[in-house]
Amino acid sequence: MQLRVTKLEAVMATVATREDLARLEVKLHQEISAIQRDVSGIRRDINRIHQAVNAQTWKILLTLIYTSTLLVSVTYYFAKNVG
């Protein structure tokens, strides 16, 4: 019987109390909140990058369209007037 009591006393020293679990829960909640803030910041940054890439893509596309139109016009002019 004494051996069982000794084992229980040894285990009781390592068992987390309700207060320890409550502190751990609060700490985990704070960590999760911090992670959620970080994720929302990352999403905001990705959205800004997406908008910048989208704007740059349209600028490049319009430049290519204007350049190709200009080249076709110059070619037509030379074919019509030089030849």
- Map out the domains of the chain as residue ranges: 19-81
For 24, the enclosing helix (H) or strand (E) is helix 18-81
- Does the pLDDT of residue 83 top 70, yes or no? no
Higher pLDDT among residues 16 and 36, named by residue: 36
One-letter amino acid of 31: E
- pTM given for the model: 0.58
Residue 68's CB is within 10 A of a number of other CB atoms, namely 10
